Chains A and B, each alone.
Chain A
Amino acid sequence: MSFYQSALDIAAESRDAPDSIPARTSAILSALDGLGRRLSATRFLDEDFSLSQAETQATETDRSAPLFGVPLAHKELYGRLTPAGPWPDEGGSSSCEGQTAHQTAFAISQLDKAGSIDCGRLVSVEYALGVTGHNEFAGTPKNPWNPDYICGGSSSGSGSVVAAGIVPGALGSDTGGSIRLPAAACGLVGIKPTYGVVSRSGVFPLSHSLDTVGPLSRSVADGAAILQAITGFDATDSCSLEVPAEDYSRNLDKGVADLSIGLCEDYFLTGSDTDMADMTADSFALCQTLGAKGRAVKLSNIDIINPLNVLMIATEAAQIHRTVACDKGHMLNDQTLMRILAGAFTTAEDYHVLQQSRARAIAAVMEEVFDKVDILMTPVWPFALPTIEASDVGATPDAAPLMQRIGHNTRPVNFLGLPSVCLPTGWDKNGLPVSVQLIGKPYSETTLLQAAAALEREYRFWDRTPDLDKI
């Protein structure tokens, strides 16, 4: 089996030779069982189910599905029912050990319809509540670019397995940066869609109004294709919205000459280490070289958004998980327990004020930024990736304040409900990937992907792959 094939190439190959689908699926399951477990990234495999999906696809006469025969694996928060029974739904936590899915997640059903093969589940941080990727119970995934370093979280297994080239893409979930942080740490494209675009039904919940679902992939085109497949209105998710259908891939070749891109020095650049800020400024300059209009922008009250997002996550997590936290607190990681409990003191009045503050912040950013530019460019990680050891808050409590900074550039995007695409643009001082984040106005995923594709052609990040012999 050839690693590092794109989803679109696999789909084309599957259409030409459907007999190849079961063999490819079998090889990928072996790799997930071998390399995936050595990376501490594989959580659950169901060979019988995945191979039966592959066999069904191999005999399918209609091969027009966009992800026909494409093997994907996903963060363990995605529910799946099979004829043999439900898959585990443990939220990466010993407190939920033995719990199984109640339904197949809407996004997973959409991928089934798009012809994809579901190859299993990948490690998540406990309750998706952490940004480093550490998980004492399910395992701490290693970064394929250097296994001493973290993958970021909470979609850590998704980042690890896609960066290792085993599958071309994986779904993650993002409440404060949990798609973008691992995508950036692992040199991948990460897409956090606009509020309401992708249903979260059947996904282990953390924060009702902030959780978003999206893909990690090795290319912009693959990410666009996976996003295309999972979108759609779902009445069972009260945040789902009827958004007009559009082709997210339609402008991938268009370049950036018709776009205006903003850089916000306050907060995003000043809150990131100099090397991260400089690399973002370099990407901003590159966009201008490619014909985009560049413009400095300012955001008032941005400083307050980060702590309000932390309170929103804690409050909504406590609404969902506080019974477990009280009954099985001893089974939760100290950080998880503390963050859930911190939300359990929020009053209904506080929560109302929080929601109103969020709405005001959204209206303000539309006026201050997106009336002026199409895209806001920021760093993703505010500093160079730490090692697994240095960022283990359980073993090194002094690391906690530093870890709080990790979501500095990503959390505000969730609070604002905006779409965001991150992609790799270079390397940090330790040889690990560095990415930029492109943030857009609501429902501007097509525009963000257009700009991301233009940058991708310049950086040609995909010419390099990790040395997997080290794993």
Chain B
Amino acid sequence: MTDKIFIPPLEMAVLAETGIPDSQIELARATSDELRGILSTQKKKPSGPSVHELFSGYAKQHGIKLEISE
């Protein structure tokens, strides 16, 4: 999705107008907080190649291996 525009997070005020029960919104918010809390341990770690770049590289390596084996 790196080449797509990322849609910003939903505002609670917007959600409140949808008619979705508060209990479900709260549960979703709590789940998000828990998961993003785990993610926060990964911040400030060094950046490297993207997933797509990694797999492009693996594909090239695999192609070379195939050529050699043939």
Contact = CB atoms under 8 A, between A and B. Distances in A.
A246 B20 CA distance: 50
Instruction: Classify the secondary structure of A's interface with B.
Output: helix
A442 B58 contact: yes
A314 interface: yes
A417 interface: yes
Contact of B19 (A307, A310, A329, A443): A329
Interface in A285-306: 304
A355 B55 contact: no
A310 B2 CA distance: 18
B35 A314 contact: yes
A288 to B, nearest CB: 25
Nearest to A303: B38
A196 interface: yes
B62 A355 contact: no
Interface string B1-30: 111101111100011001110001101110
B15 A341 contact: yes
Nearest to A195: B55
Interface in B11-70: 14-15, 18-20, 24-25, 27-29, 31-36, 38-39, 41-43, 45, 47-52, 54-56, 58-59, 62-63, 66-67
B35 A357 contact: no
Contact of B8 (A195, A209, A348, A358): A348
Contacts, number: 151
A185 to B, nearest CB: 26
Interface centre among B19, B39, B63 (most CB of A within 10 A): B39
Interface in A321-336: 322, 326-327, 329-330, 334
B55 A319 contact: no
Contacts of B3: 238
A319 B8 CA distance: 9
Given A195-B51, A329-B19, A304 B38 contact: yes
Interface centre among A345, A348, A354 (most CB of B within 10 A): A345
Nearest to A345: B32
A113 interface: no
A341 B20 contact: yes
A195 B36 CA distance: 24
A124 B18 CA distance: 27
B54 A363 contact: yes
A82 interface: no
A243 B59 contact: yes
B20 A326 contact: yes
Contacts of A344: 9-10, 15, 28, 32
Given A350-B36, A442-B55, A356 B9 contact: no
B30 to A, nearest CB: 9
Nearest to B67: A244
Interface string A235-260: 00011011110100000000000000
Contacts of B4: 208, 238, 319
Nearest to B70: A246
A156 interface: no
A241 B59 contact: yes
A357 B34 CA distance: 17
B1 A319 contact: yes
A308 B15 CA distance: 24
A26 interface: no
Contact of A443 (B20, B36, B59): B59
Contacts of B59: 196, 241-244, 442-443
A326 B18 contact: yes
Interface in A159-212: 194-196, 208-209
A337 B24 contact: yes
B45 A329 contact: no
Contacts of B18: 326-327, 329
Interface string A255-274: 00000000000000000000
Nearest to A416: B51
Nearest to B33: A345
A424 to B, nearest CB: 29
A244 B62 contact: yes
User: Which 4 A-B pairs give the minimum distances between C-beta atoms?
Assistant: A341-B28, A244-B63, A442-B58, A311-B35
5 contacts: A314-B32, A329-B20, A337-B20, A350-B39, A359-B50
